[in-house]
Amino acid sequence: MIYDQIEKNKRNSVILIIVMSLFSMAVCYFVGVYFFDKGIIGLLIGFGIAIVSAISSYFAGDKIILKSVRAKKATQDNYQVLNDVVVEMAIASGLDKPEVYIIQDSSPNAFATGRDPEHSSIAVTDGLLRRLNRAELQGVIAHEMSHIQNRDILFVTTVSIMVGAVVIVSSIYRTSLWFGGYNRRRSNDSGGSLMAMIGLLLIIFAPLASKVIQMAISRQREYLADSNAALLTRNPKALADALKKISSTHVKSKIQNTAVNPLFISEPFSSVNVKDLFSTHPPIEKRIKKLEAMAYTKGDLMKGVASAN
């Protein structure tokens, strides 16, 4: 059950990233055709924006994120249990121990950041430490180690860059139409006018559509990290219980940076209903149900082995 879920989530993620890539290329190409009369120029603009964003995110993204949430190093002396659990899950995943940070926030949550397993960090809120027992904390840390192991931070960053490129290029196209750039070239071409109308609709809805795809990708990565965490701990119920506690604690987070939301194990609580199309996380009830199904399957398997003996 766990292995099947992991493979399914990986397939879904790959399909979504392919869809996102093709969509980004189509938007950039369309802009090139109708703004510069050459689709290749639109592709080059989109590629240039992506390269600049990628370089800055790759080398400084994790430091910016940790500073934005005011995370502090969690020393072994002050946070021994937390550091011990991180070591245990690092060993289980076969990775080096990441840097460990604490966030002074009553809302229970955690996230991982870093460009690769060798340059990674895990940050948890003190609200999380106060509410979870050791097994539940292992489940949460295993989830974050899975994000590091799967290179989800780089993955999510890549998708975010593509979304940013689509938004910027779409703005360029809308500006060109606003100032009559298209009409000057093709005002007497009825076929071209029809294509311009279709193109305009595409560009208007491009940021919205790309955002929806981005959210779908983020959700699949959460499912995948949950499944991997269950594999690392051999205890799906621990993470399920942790998610129950996290979701039942309606404490508003001090962290108001929405750009960091996709990184957290659970979308920070606010007065806004996040169970909608633009939520960066799948419904927590579905995540719990999947984990409990894994625990149920594992329990049945152990009973079968005991009966056979």
Strands 72-73 and 110-116: unpaired
| For the ranges 35-39, 135-139, 145-149, 249-253, the one whose mean pLDDT is highest | 135-139
Angle between helices 284-308 and 2-36 (to 10 degrees): 150
User: Residue range 123-131: average pLDDT?
Assistant: 95
Per cent of the chain over pLDDT 70 is 73
- In this prediction, residue 304 carries a pLDDT of 41
- In this prediction, residue 303 carries a pLDDT of 45
Task: State the pLDDT confidence band at 274, using cuts at 50, 70 and 90.
Answer: very low
Q: What is the DSSP string of 172-194?
A: HHHHHHHTTHHHHHHTT-HHHHH
The better pLDDT of the pair 222, 302 is held by 222
Question: Half-sphere exposure (CA, 13 Å, Cβ side) for 229?
Answer: 33
- In this prediction, residue 192 carries a pLDDT of 55
The better pLDDT of the pair 137, 69 is held by 137
- In this prediction, residue 141 carries a pLDDT of 97
Could you tell me the CA-to-CA distances from 58 to 70, 164, 165, 290 in Å, in that order? 20, 15, 16, 33
With a cut of 50, say whether residue 273 has pLDDT above it. Answer: no
Task: State the pLDDT confidence band at 205, using cuts at 50, 70 and 90.
Answer: confident
With a cut of 50, say whether residue 2 has pLDDT above it. Answer: yes
User: Residue range 273-284: average pLDDT?
Assistant: 66
- In this prediction, residue 134 carries a pLDDT of 97
Of 155, 127, 298, the C-alpha closest to 224 is: 155
Distance of CA 162 to the CA centre of its chain: 14
Of 211, 225, 232, the C-alpha closest to 290 is: 225
Give the CA angle between residues 170, 17, 8 to the nearest 5°: 150
Which value, to the nearest 10 degrees, does the dihedral of the CA atoms of residues 89, 91, 95, 100 take?
50
The better pLDDT of the pair 196, 227 is held by 227
- In this prediction, residue 189 carries a pLDDT of 52
Contact criterion met (CB below 8 Å) for 30 and 42: yes
Dist CA 142 CA 144 (whole Å): 5
User: Residue range 7-17: average pLDDT?
Assistant: 73
Task: State the pLDDT confidence band at 8, using cuts at 50, 70 and 90.
Answer: confident
Mean pLDDT for all residues in the chain: 78
Dist CA 175 CA 181 (whole Å): 9
Which is catalytic among the residues 144, 267, 285, 292? 144
User: Residue range 63-85: average pLDDT?
Assistant: 92
- In this prediction, residue 179 carries a pLDDT of 60
Dist CA 211 CA 95 (whole Å): 32
With a cut of 90, say whether residue 22 has pLDDT above it. Answer: no
User: Residue range 115-140: average pLDDT?
Assistant: 94
Active site residue 7: no
Who contacts 228 (Cβ-Cβ below 8 Å, separation ≥6)?
Answer: 6, 142, 143, 146, 149, 150
pLDDT in tens, 223-235: 989 999 999 999 9
pTM of the model: 0.74
